[in-house]
């Protein structure tokens, strides 16, 4: 199922009148439904669902998922602090970061959990917190993603402790009397479900070599279908296939592993959209292209420019025009030729015109599948465009502003004046 069109044209024009564009819109109903699916992931001996907050770190979203019972995966000390400020209990936050947080001591002291992502991180953790428990992230030797940029397992990935180094990890832990009670893996974003399952089984064989491990996190990476022709991962099916492997593990190793999953994309991708206005229409002649220029772009939705990600785009007109369709490229507002919302499928460098009814300046485009890695991963303030506003639609369809549009003063507030 492709990402839902959860805003009607009429609603889109009202939202623009009230909040302006570009505007992120989140749909509480879709977000809640996705959380329910994660929390129902079939498991043999217990489950913790974590939300990988890097996907969309707005406090309103963190609180919504907290109220549903999800915990948090923070990818930096700053994310952990942000989650704490949003009211998430420290013990619900696990830090899986490439950079050891400067305030690690304070964060762990408050109750945050730490997942050591390298032997160096484990060494530092051991020095700071001897006699405690820790989780380690393992690179299982294989990964999968919708592009090489999002595959985070295997020999070309720097994420996690290489699976052949479990002895080294155990030796460091023993030196500091630290128990490795949890093992974590994350294979990539938008993973092929088959490869994901294979990696999960591989992770179990590695967990067998870590005798005190009682929790296994298999990360996120579940594919969602944004476009019509895409198929998303079925969590129920994946979990059902995986469950017997945990039972076999218990029979063979006498350990009932508590399962963790920590999706980002799956939880928020299709519960978010970006509304942008058509600001100009240009073309490059008979042999060229027609362009729809919008007031958003890589400053709000970097994924198409960064790795050719495909997002569904629906033209919303105030007049409900239904004229002959033509092909158009949709581009953003930045002075950057790469600021394009319609790259060619499968070729990030190429152009992928799409068919729309005749657009007019002032129309609105609903860019779907924009909940994950959009407002949290923009080309921030490029061309000095301010951060866009964000609204949450309640179950009854009422809009609530959850982030104001940034002002120019806020953009420059940390610059130091010549006379300071």
Ligand X SMILES: Cc1ncc(COP(=O)(O)O)c(C=O)c1O
Which residue of the chain is nearest ligand X when measured via CB? 220
CA–CA gap between residue 49 and residue 387 (Å, rounded): 30
Which stretch in 220-228, 250-258, 319-327, 349-357 sits in contact with ligand X by CB under 6 A? 220-228
Q: Is 73 in the site for ligand X (CB under 6 A)?
A: yes
Closer residue to ligand X (CB): 120 or 400: 120
Binding pattern to ligand X, positions 188-207, x when CB under 6 A? -x------------------
Of the residues 118, 265, 270, 342, which one makes contact with ligand X according to CB under 6 A: 265
Dihedral of the alpha carbons of 55, 57, 59, 62, in degrees to the nearest 10? 40
Binding of ligand X by 370 (CB under 6 A)? no
- Structure tokens, 253: 């190793």
Q: In the structure encoding, which two tokens stand for residue 298, read together?
A: 């890589």
Q: Applying CB under 6 A, does 55 fall inside the site for ligand X? A: yes
Buried residues in 226-260 as b, exposed as e (16+ CB within 10 A):
beeebebbebeebbeebbebbeebeeeeebebbbb
Pairing status of strand 47-52 against strand 71-74: parallel
Counting residues that bind ligand X (by CB under 6 A) gives: 16
> For the chain, how many residues are written?
420
Q: Which of 57, 27, 1 is nearest to 275 (CA)?
A: 27
Please pick, from the candidates 9, 57, 219, 369, the single residue that binds ligand X as defined by CB under 6 A.
219
Tell me which residue has tokens 């866009």. 388
Query: Is the CB of 232 or the CB of 264 nearer to ligand X?
Result: 264
- Using the rule CB under 6 A, which residue among 30, 96, 305, 310 binds ligand X? 96
What H or E segment, with its residue span, contains residue 127?
helix 119-128
Query: Which listed range, 173-181, 215-223, 275-283, 393-401, lies at the site for ligand X (CB under 6 A)?
Result: 215-223
Q: What is the DSSP letter of 411?
A: H
Annotated catalytic residues are: 335
- Sort 110 into a burial class: Cβ within 10 Å, 0-12 / 13-18 / 19+: middle
Residue 263 or residue 368: which is nearer to ligand X going by CB?
263
Provide, rounded to whole angstroms, the least separation between the CB of residue 75 and ligand X: 6
Least Å distance, CB 51 to ligand X, is: 9
Binding residues vs ligand X (CB under 6 A)? 52, 55, 73, 96, 186, 189, 219-222, 262-266, 372
């Amino acid at each position: 199922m492709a990402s839902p069109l959860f805003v009607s044209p009429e609603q889109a024009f009202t939202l623009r009148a009230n909040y302006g564009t570009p505007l992120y819109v989140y749909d509480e109903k879709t977000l809640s439904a996705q959380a329910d699916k994660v929390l129902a992931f079939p498991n043999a001996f217990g489950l913790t669902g974590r939300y990988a907050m890097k996907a969309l770190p707005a406090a309103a979203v963190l609180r919504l998922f907290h109220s549903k019972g999800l915990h948090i995966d923070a990818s930096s000390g700053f994310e952990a602090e942000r989650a704490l400020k949003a009211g998430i209990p420290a013990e619900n936050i696990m830090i899986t970061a490439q950079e050891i947080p400067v305030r690690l001591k304070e964060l762990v002291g408050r109750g945050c959990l730490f997942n050591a992502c390298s032997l160096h991180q484990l060494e530092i953790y051991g020095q700071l917190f001897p006699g405690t428990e820790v989780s380690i992230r393992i690179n299982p030797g294989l990964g999968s993603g919708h592009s090489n940029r999002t595959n985070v397992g295997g020999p070309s990935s720097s994420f996690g402790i290489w699976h052949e180094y479990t002895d080294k990890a155990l030796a460091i832990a023993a030196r500091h009397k630290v128990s490795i009670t949890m093992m974590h893996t994350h294979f990539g974003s938008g993973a092929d479900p088959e490869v994901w399952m294979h990696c999960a089984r591989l992770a179990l064989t590695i967990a067998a070599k870590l005798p005190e491990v009682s929790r296994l996190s298999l990360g996120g990476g579940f594919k969602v279908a944004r476009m019509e022709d895409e198929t998303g991962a079925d969590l129920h099916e994946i979990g059902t296939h995986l469950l017997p492997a945990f039972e076999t593990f218990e029979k063979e190793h006498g350990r009932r592993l508590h399962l963790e999953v920590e999706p980002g994309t799956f939880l928020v991708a299709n519960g978010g959209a970006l509304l942008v206005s058509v600001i100009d229409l240009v073309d490059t002649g008979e042999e060229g292209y027609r362009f729809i220029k919008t007031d958003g772009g890589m400053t709000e939705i970097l994924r198409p420019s960064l790795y050719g990600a495909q997002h569904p785009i629906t033209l919303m007109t105030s007049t409900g025009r239904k004229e002959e369709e033509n092909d158009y490229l949709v581009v953003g507002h930045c002075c950057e030729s790469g600021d394009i919302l319609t790259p060619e499928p499968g070729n990030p460098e190429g152009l992928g015109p799409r068919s729309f009814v005749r657009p007019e300046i002032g129309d609105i485009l609903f860019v779907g599948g924009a909940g994950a890695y959009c407002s949290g991963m923009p080309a921030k303030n490029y061309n000095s465009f301010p951060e866009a506003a964000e609204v949450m639609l309640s179950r009854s369809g009422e809009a609530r502003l959850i982030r104001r549009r940034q002002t120019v003063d806020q953009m420059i507030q940390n610059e130091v004046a010549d006379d300071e």
